[in-house]
Amino acid sequence: MSVRADEQFPGHEHGIRVWPPHHCGNLFCNTLLRPGLPCQRTQSVPVEVFLLHILFSGWRPAYGIYNMWVSLFGAVLCCAVMFVINWWAAVITYVIEFFLYVYVTYKKPDVNWGSSTQALSYVSALDNALELTTVEDHVKNFRPQCIVLTGGPMTRPALLDITHAFTKNSGLCICCEVFVGPRKLCVKEMNSGMGKKQVWLIKNKIKAFYAAVAADCFRDGVRSLLQASGLGRMKPNTLVIGYKKNWRKAPLTEIENYVGIIHDAFDFEIGVVIVRISQGFDISQVLQVQEELERLEQERLALEATIKDTECEEESGGIRGLFKKAGKLNITKTTPKKDGSINTSQSMHVGEFNQKLVEASTQFKKKQEKGTIDVWWLFDDGGLTLLIPYILTLRKKWKDCKLRIYVGGKINRIEEEKIAMASLLSKFRIKFADIHIIGDINIRPNKERYEIFNKSH
């Protein structure tokens, strides 16, 4: 009920407005669906909800006379009046509103409602992050939280995919890019692409964040990322980088920066994972060619549309259009030549594609064939070398792969070392297919092994 003199409703002579049954929805909306209004400047003060005030408290200025206990009383009063007016209409209203709530929650439309649920999500994430800071480190709650030096996430998708394979639903993953050069230009380029690259991650269903810094050199940028990324327990503890394939031909400064980044990570007590595939990770050249082809295709379609429109105009011009069309024959004859040149350039670019590189960039998105993951645990490095392969075997794409452990040991104690290693893995409940003890690990390799190694690199 609300106090109002209105002759259209019974009871107006007493100054009381009684809401008919079909107004139960209005009461329901006043009760539940307007939690943000006490934080806004409106002409009338609606009935607000006590619980929603607690859960969805925002930062905007609120009414000076607003009180959440009065809001609670008004909410309970609205619910009671709904059932007093008509109990079956109240039940139907609740059912309809509940169905709409479930539908919107399930569909998750890409619309900015400006709702207070965003404030709830932020406050919950902040509270949980603060609570995590009180949790002590333990081997059982350790999980890889990775900084991945992908540059733009779309330029090294294979490196991102293999990292996402053991961080998805388990740990933090931050795709990092360093812009090197004049600060003004770098900052402008960095800010213009951050939203686009984060959207690319969401579109490809990769649970990761994108971060970028501008620095005078690559190593300084990575050093800044290692020190400042993350908050509290949500701080990276593992650096993932690709193997520098051209280290034999690269300038000395690049080699020094690459090695220096590894040393910096160790100085900050951060683990390092170096991932290598034979074709390499960088597909930026392929992306550039694809963008060029798309641009040429758009130009070709625009040219065809222009020619078609011109022909339509000429046909509608009668005899004058006929003469104009005859005069345009030379243009239409030269058009296929231009199209032919476009096709030729397309074929040339397609011929330059490195098909193996394209296939390698998607190899970790596919289901892996049945085989083994060889783990060379040559010394006790804390267990990260063994933990990451084990997490991979828990994923659907890697479930057909088994762990095969290689451990350094002594020739005269191979069986003892094998039993001890099997006992350790069983203690941590890590399933494995086989264990191999390398007894001659401290012996220098012979010339044949050197040649095999150099050929493989």
- Of residues 122 and 209, more confidence is placed in 209
End-to-end, the C-alpha distance of the chain in Å comes to 82
> What is the rounded distance in angstroms from the CA atom of residue 119 to the CA atom of residue 115?
8
- Tell whether the model's pLDDT for residue 41 goes beyond 50: no
- Tell whether the model's pLDDT for residue 148 goes beyond 90: yes
**Same domain? 144 vs 64:** no
**Same domain? 250 vs 169:** yes
**Same domain? 200 vs 146:** yes
**Same domain? 147 vs 256:** yes
- Checking 50-55 for CB contacts under 8 A at 24+ apart, the result is 50/75, 52/116, 55/116, 55/120
- Tell whether the model's pLDDT for residue 305 goes beyond 60: yes
Residue 358 lies in a domain: no
- The reported pLDDT for the residue numbered 60 is 47
When pLDDT is cut at 50, 70 and 90, the band that residue 15 belongs to is very low
**Same domain? 226 vs 275:** yes
Mean pLDDT, the chain, whole residue set: 77
* Tokens describing residue 310: 């011109």
**Same domain? 95 vs 144:** no
Residue 418 lies in a domain: yes
- The reported pLDDT for the residue numbered 139 is 75
- Tell whether the model's pLDDT for residue 296 goes beyond 80: yes
- The reported pLDDT for the residue numbered 198 is 92
Residue 344 lies in a domain: no
Residue 231 lies in a domain: yes
Strand residue runs (E) in 11-85: 16-17
**Same domain? 98 vs 148:** no
Domains in the chain, number: 3
Residue 335 lies in a domain: no
Residue 4 lies in a domain: no
Residue 330 lies in a domain: no
- Tell whether the model's pLDDT for residue 204 goes beyond 80: yes
- The reported pLDDT for the residue numbered 40 is 35
- Tell whether the model's pLDDT for residue 46 goes beyond 60: no
When pLDDT is cut at 50, 70 and 90, the band that residue 173 belongs to is very high
When pLDDT is cut at 50, 70 and 90, the band that residue 350 belongs to is very low
- Tell whether the model's pLDDT for residue 241 goes beyond 90: yes
Residue 23 lies in a domain: no
- The reported pLDDT for the residue numbered 316 is 59
- Tell whether the model's pLDDT for residue 309 goes beyond 80: no
When pLDDT is cut at 50, 70 and 90, the band that residue 124 belongs to is confident
**Same domain? 78 vs 174:** no
> What is the rounded distance in angstroms from the CA atom of residue 266 to the CA atom of residue 436?
29
- The reported pLDDT for the residue numbered 275 is 93
**Same domain? 182 vs 258:** yes
* Tokens describing residue 85: 């007016």
SS percent in the chain: helix, strand, coil, step 5: 55, 10, 35
Residue-wise burial string across 189-218, b where 16 or more C-beta atoms lie within 10 A, e elsewhere? eeeebeeebbebbeeeebebebbbbbbeeb
- Tell whether the model's pLDDT for residue 38 goes beyond 60: no
Domain range enclosing 213? 140-283
**Same domain? 275 vs 144:** yes
C-alpha neighbours within 13 Å on the C-beta side of residue 194 = 15
The neighbour count for residue 95, using CB atoms within 10 Å, is: 10
* Tokens describing residue 251: 């300038």
- The CATH number covering residue 144 comes to 3.40.50.620
**3-state class (DSSP) for residue 390:** helix
Least confident of 14-23, 121-130, 135-144, 151-160: 14-23
For the segment 383-402, what is each residue's pLDDT rounded down to a tens digit? 888 888 999 998 888 988 99
- The reported pLDDT for the residue numbered 116 is 67
- Tell whether the model's pLDDT for residue 267 goes beyond 90: yes
| Mean local confidence (pLDDT), 191-206 | 90
**Same domain? 176 vs 275:** yes
Beta bridge partners of 96: none
For the segment 416-434, what is each residue's pLDDT rounded down to a tens digit? 888 988 988 888 888 888 8
Packed helices 318-327 and 329-352: angle between N→C axes, nearest 10 degrees: 50
- Residue 341 parent element (H or E): helix 329-352
- The reported pLDDT for the residue numbered 123 is 85
| Cβ proximity of 86 and 21 under 8 Å | yes
Q: Environment class of residue 84 by beta-carbon count within 10 Å: exposed (0-12), middle (13-18) or buried (19+)?
A: exposed
Q: Which of 226, 255, 283 is the last residue of a domain?
A: 283
> What is the rounded distance in angstroms from the CA atom of residue 92 to the CA atom of residue 85?
13
**Same domain? 89 vs 224:** no
